[in-house]
Structure 1
Amino acid sequence: MSDEKLTMVETSALLILLAEAGPVPNASLTNDHRCELKKPSREKLERLKLIEVGGTPRRLVLTLSEAGWRRCRTELAAGSPPPGSGAIGGALYAVLLRLDRFLTAQRLSLGEFVTASNAPAAEDLPVAEDLSAVPDAPKADEPAADEPTVEERVLSAYHKVASRAGDLVNLADLRDLVDDLDRADIDAALRRLHRRPGVTLVPEANQKALDARTRAAAVVVGDQPKHMITMAAS
């Protein structure tokens, strides 16, 4: 990773892209986040491969790259703000350091943190008017009787796509077979499976060859997007 210093605005832009966890229009940085990323700074971040720039000349769209995710993780652990960042900078870096300690203690990656924070708040979930009126209702975290778990669905999808055990399967092809499930549940199941012997999530070796469909289907593990999965014979 480059050791080139970033300005507070450049660092702030990276942290905003992290928080948004997806493509952000360049104009939105200024209008919605009060972070005006001027052309020289945008080109600098692109040159350092910390962001990816797409869209049209009149509507640029910025996305945090894999290197950008790693740079954000180092900012969390920095502990002290850059000179001249003022009280807001001091407060920001105090919060970032606290977040870094939490992630370290919980052994969570930034990607896992972002995925978890995308889950709906409890007050946004539907509530049954009278739970006692529903006999033998399964618990919220348990599948209904004879209903396959998310992990079982993912395993089944892999074996439908793979010609044989050990084949690399594009996560985009796997997701097509379980698209009735919530993405956050699928991602969590993939991470749990990744910890099993014989199951491995891997990134696409040739990043330049990634198409939009494969990139969108990736699951982030350890701050790195993984695009393929392989499973040994059980």
Structure 2
Amino acid sequence: MSERLGHKETAVMLVLMALAREVSNPELKDLVGYPLDGKERRRLNELRLVESRLAPKRFFVHELTDSGWKWCADEFAAGSPPPPVARSTFVPAFYLLLAALDRYLRRENVSLAEVFTSDVELTPGQIEERVRAGYSKLARSVGDWVSLVDLRAALGGANRAEVDAVLKEMSRTGRANLVPESNRKALTDRHHAAAIRVGGEDNHLISIEAS
């Protein structure tokens, strides 16, 4: 059995599992009422359950590690909430539900990662709305360059191929500009993975003018 966490840490872990993608502190605050920061963030990072990084607007974004996924699987099997037991009768009932789901997953040999995925079905118009909303949150000013690494993290798990199709169409019609990162030494594996290939080259940055 993995180490039990406090109630706030546990809630964050289960949210990251359910969304199966990077989640920013502002989004966590909307979902559970608080960000993952301070000693709770440091503890989850030190336990290597969550990977956190600082986004350009100076807030953290978080994602489960492989160890984090294993911790969630163990938490499903626990059958009871971490101490101290919450006064709400909902929490013990929720853990009984998790235990029942764990038994089913084990019986059918299905992993949590197969159940909780980040892909959601959206229309091209809805994807473009998410692109514009994510860009607005990340850009310091209209027309500023934003990394596709950060933009993809803000899109709420939209399908990668569908997002790329929308980005290419926005680029083709002049609704967005895509360019490569000029400082190649600054590129990490994450930047390469997030890049979109247009015009025979990988593009890592996006700029959107006011509509």
State the 4+ residue runs in structure 1 displaced beyond 4 angstroms.
117-121, 213-216
Matched ranges for 1:1-234 at <5 A: 3-56=2-55, 58-83=58-83, 84-86=85-87, 87-115=89-117, 118=119, 211-212=189-190
**Cα gap change, 1:28/1:119 in structure 2, threshold over 3 Å: closer, same or farther?**
closer
1:186 is aligned to none
Gaps of 5+ in 2: 124-159, 163-187, 195-211
Amino acid at match of 2:40: S
Cα distance in 1 for partners of 2:99, 2:120 equals 23
Question: Helix, strand or coil: the match of 2:61?
Answer: strand
TM-score, with length taken from structure 2: 0.53
Asked if structure 2 preserves the Cα contact closer than 8 Å seen for 1:13 and 1:35, the reply is no
Greater shift, 84-93 or 67-76, is seen at: 84-93
Asked if structure 1 preserves the Cα contact closer than 8 Å seen for 2:44 and 2:50, the reply is yes
Asked if structure 2 preserves the Cα contact closer than 8 Å seen for 1:29 and 1:35, the reply is yes
Cα distance in 2 for partners of 1:213, 1:102 equals 38
**Cα gap change, 1:60/1:108 in structure 2, threshold over 3 Å: closer, same or farther?**
same
Cα distance in 1 for partners of 2:81, 2:38 equals 24
Greater shift, 93-102 or 63-72, is seen at: 93-102
Asked if structure 1 preserves the Cα contact closer than 8 Å seen for 2:48 and 2:67, the reply is yes
Question: Helix, strand or coil: the match of 2:116?
Answer: helix
Cα distance in 2 for partners of 1:69, 1:215 equals 21
Q: Which protein is bigger by CA-based radius of gyration?
A: 1
**Cα gap change, 1:36/1:213 in structure 2, threshold over 3 Å: closer, same or farther?**
closer
Query: How many corresponding residue pairs?
Result: 132
Q: Render the CA deviation track for 1:11-43: whole Å, top value 9, x for unaligned.
A: 111110000100000121122222443410111
Cα distance in 1 for partners of 2:24, 2:50 equals 12
Q: Which has the higher contact order (CA 8 A, sep 6+)?
A: 2
Asked if structure 2 preserves the Cα contact closer than 8 Å seen for 1:9 and 1:36, the reply is no
Displacement after TM superposition at 1:54 (Å): 1.1
Cα distance in 1 for partners of 2:62, 2:190 equals 15
Q: Percent identity?
A: 35
CA RMSD of aligned residues (A): 3.2
Cα distance in 2 for partners of 1:67, 1:95 equals 22
Cα distance in 1 for partners of 2:63, 2:109 equals 25
Question: Helix, strand or coil: the match of 1:108?
Answer: coil
**Cα gap change, 1:105/1:23 in structure 2, threshold over 3 Å: closer, same or farther?**
same
